[in-house]
Amino acid sequence: MNDFLSSVGLPEIVAALMVLALNAYVLMGGADFGGGLWDLVASGPRRDAQRTLIAESLAPIWEANHVWLIVVIVVLFTGFPSAFSTLGIVLHIPISLFLIGIVLRGSAFVFRSYGSRDDARRKQWGLTFAIASSVTPILLGAIIGSLASGSVAAAARDVGAASFGAVFVRPWLAPFPIVVGLLALSLFAYLVERLKATKDGEGTLLDSTAYVLGSGMGNPNIHDHTNLPLVLAGGRNGGRHLKYATAIPLANVHLTLLEKVGVRQDKFGDSNSVVEDLL
């Protein structure tokens, strides 16, 4: 054990942080992609209700989840520039397609929700959202699968010597990376399905899941920490915009969330009470 600990240095710690951030993206962003897959295969008399539930669950939080992916990319090119260069060269095709897929699904989701009210146009954007949500995680899994197989390192040594297909296509468009991609897609879909299928009181675990997105500053230009914007997504009492006439500590929100999950605590930080009408 001591030998193991003595061998752990700063590179290993930074790499571990990247792994944690990537797992956070898979767990939280993965639910978004999984919701898109279920949107694609929704059928029967309840398909519109299912798609509405998916849209209402994703709307407040889908964009924020990509922060975890940004963390991974920034840490990669600052902490491991050689690895970042290799990935950007050998895997530039799946990485570019992956990023295009993220942009397409986000744009389509917004246009379907807030764009034209025409049913035909909404169906077009819905189909774009669902297809992009299904293809994008396959590409993410293929990227990870190609790294796990060792083919990226081998292809990097052949840049300029081997054919285009051997260097830039074969490492990721191979059976093992594709199977890993399909596994990633199925896990994302399974995550959402389990949240929706797991009973929790009178509803489901999806009803009882809450995401908090906010900022520690109301106006960062002057470091003002009043009038903080805060998005609280989840539960059954959403779709509201609340603006309080008198200032309340942000810790009151945290104290309220603790109480809702059954953690009884008199005080949290500088809190002075719970927020009664929040959830």
What does the pLDDT look like over 234-247, one tens digit per residue? 655 666 777 777 78
Q: Rounded distance, CA 171 to CA 53, Å?
A: 38
DSSP 66: G
Q: Looking at mean pLDDT, say which of 75-79, 113-117, 228-232, 262-266 comes out highest.
A: 75-79
Which has more confidence, 88 or 188?
88
Question: Is pLDDT of 27 > 80?
Answer: no
Over pLDDT 70: what percentage of the chain?
78
Which has more confidence, 143 or 195?
143
Q: Are residues 145 and 246 in the same domain?
A: no
**Is residue 274 within 8 Å of 247, Cβ to Cβ?**
no
Q: Are residues 38 and 155 in the same domain?
A: yes
Q: Specify the number of domains making up the chain.
A: 2
Q: Are residues 130 and 189 in the same domain?
A: yes
Name the β-bridge partners of 200.
203
Cβ-count burial of 71 within 10 angstroms (0-12 exposed, 13-18 middle, 19+ buried)? middle
Q: How confident is the model at residue 85 (pLDDT cuts 50, 70, 90)?
A: very high
Report, in this order, helix, strand and coil percent for the chain, each rounded to 5: 65, 5, 30
Task: Tell me whether residue 172 is in a domain.
Answer: yes
Question: Is pLDDT of 187 > 70?
Answer: yes
**CB within 8 A of 123, min separation 6: which ones?**
none
